[in-house]
Amino acid sequence: MANVMEIQQQPPDTVNSGSPEGALALQGIATGNLPKLPSAKSSDTQWQRISKQIIDLLDQLPNYISSFFDKNKQAILTLVLILSGFVTVKVVIAVLNAINGVPLLAPIFEIIGIVYAIWFTFRYLIKSETRQELSYKVSSFKKELIG
């Protein structure tokens, strides 16, 4: 047991302990042709240059975004309107499904719809004078919308 402890406590042997800074020397090879790592000073300047480019890009980002918006204003507006219409339809469907989930509320709305359809038919569709009145109201409403 003591033998095992002595082996574990011995310091490791170094190869070429006579070489400077504990580096290994290559024997029989010309070291002048080997690639060398860049110095730490040049990598610092490279990082500074890269960080400066990133900072410049972030400084110009609002200008890039505003010019992109100015060039594509109509397309962006169309896309926003389509997406907002899609969201509106989804919300309306969700509200109607929630209303249908409430007991007795859906049948009450159906009865209200049937009563309104009957009233509309008797009020505007049976006599020709009331049909002309309805036609006039629809055309005046179109003129207000279109201009």
pTM greater than 0.75? no
Cα–Cα distance, 123 to 143 (Å, whole number) = 23
Q: Assess if residue 115 is contained within a domain.
A: yes
Q: Assess if residue 114 is contained within a domain.
A: yes
| pLDDT range class, residue 80, cuts 50, 70, 90 | very high
Closest among 76, 49, 50 to 65, alpha carbons compared:
76
Q: Assess if residue 88 is contained within a domain.
A: no
Q: Assess if residue 145 is contained within a domain.
A: yes
pLDDT of 19 higher than 70: no
Q: Assess if residue 117 is contained within a domain.
A: yes
Cα–Cα distance, 47 to 85 (Å, whole number) = 48
| pLDDT range class, residue 22, cuts 50, 70, 90 | very low
Query: Three-class SS of residue 99?
Result: helix
What is the percentage of the chain residues whose pLDDT exceeds 70?
71
17-43 as b/e: b if 16+ CB within 10 A: eeeeeeeeeeeeeeeeeeeeeeeeeee
Q: Assess if residue 26 is contained within a domain.
A: no
pLDDT of 66 higher than 80: yes
Average pLDDT, rounded, for the chain = 81
Number of domains in the chain: 1
Q: In which region does residue 28 sit, left (phi positive, over 0), alpha (psi from -120 to 50) or beta (all else)?
A: left
Q: Assess if residue 16 is contained within a domain.
A: no
Q: Assess if residue 44 is contained within a domain.
A: no
What's the Cα-to-Cα distance from 142 to each of 93, 98, 139, 147, rounded to whole Å?
28, 34, 5, 8
List the domain range (segments joined by +) for residue 137: 103-147
| pLDDT range class, residue 46, cuts 50, 70, 90 | confident
